[in-house]
């Protein structure tokens, strides 16, 4: 069975300190893309193959199976709902609030 190819929708601190390192330790998941104004810098640091400079680019990337969204609370709902249409998501925030 192949790896789940994850995209990270922003370079929030929790993504850099917790989420990306956890995926890198995983045997069945890989971070293959990240989206942010600092995407290239973060991709180089963590060995992520794709750096997108807009969230839309990442959401439309056919090589991403799921997206982790570490956005601040006030931005999370909009990003999550838009994303639901395209790929599987992992969300730590309540989508109904």
Distance CA 10, CA 44 (A): 15
The answer to whether residue 73 sits within a structural domain is yes
Could you give the number of structural domains in the chain?
1
Residue whose pair of structure tokens reads 């190819």 in the numeric block: 5
Assess if residue 96 is contained within a domain.
no
The domain of 28 spans 4-90
pLDDT of residue 82: 54
pLDDT digits 0-9 by tens, 11-60: 989 999 999 999 989 999 999 999 999 999 999 999 999 999 988 888 88
Q: Is the pTM of this model over 0.85?
A: no
Contact 11, 72 (CB under 8 A): no
Q: What are phi and psi of 9, to 5 degrees?
A: -95, 75
Q: Do you know the residue count of the chain?
A: 97
In a domain, 97, yes or no: no
User: Within a domain: residue 78?
Assistant: yes
User: Is 95 within the bounds of a domain?
Assistant: no
Report if residue 31 sits inside a domain.
yes
Q: Which residues of 54-78 are buried (b: 16+ CB within 10 A; e: fewer)?
A: ebeebbebeebbebbbbbeeeebbe
Instruction: Give the CATH number, domain containing residue 32.
Output: 3.40.50.720
């Amino acid at each position: 069975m192949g790896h789940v190819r994850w995209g990270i929708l922003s370079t929030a601190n929790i993504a850099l300190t917790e989420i990306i390192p956890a995926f890198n330790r995983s045997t069945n998941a890989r971070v293959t893309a990240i989206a942010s104004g600092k995407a290239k810098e973060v991709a180089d640091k963590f060995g992520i193959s794709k750096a997108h400079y807009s969230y839309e680019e990442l959401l439309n990337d056919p090589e991403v199976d799921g997206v982790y969204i570490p956005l601040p609370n006030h931005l999370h709902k909009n990003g999550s709902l838009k994303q639901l249409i395209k790929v599987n998501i992992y969300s730590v925030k309540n989508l109904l609030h």
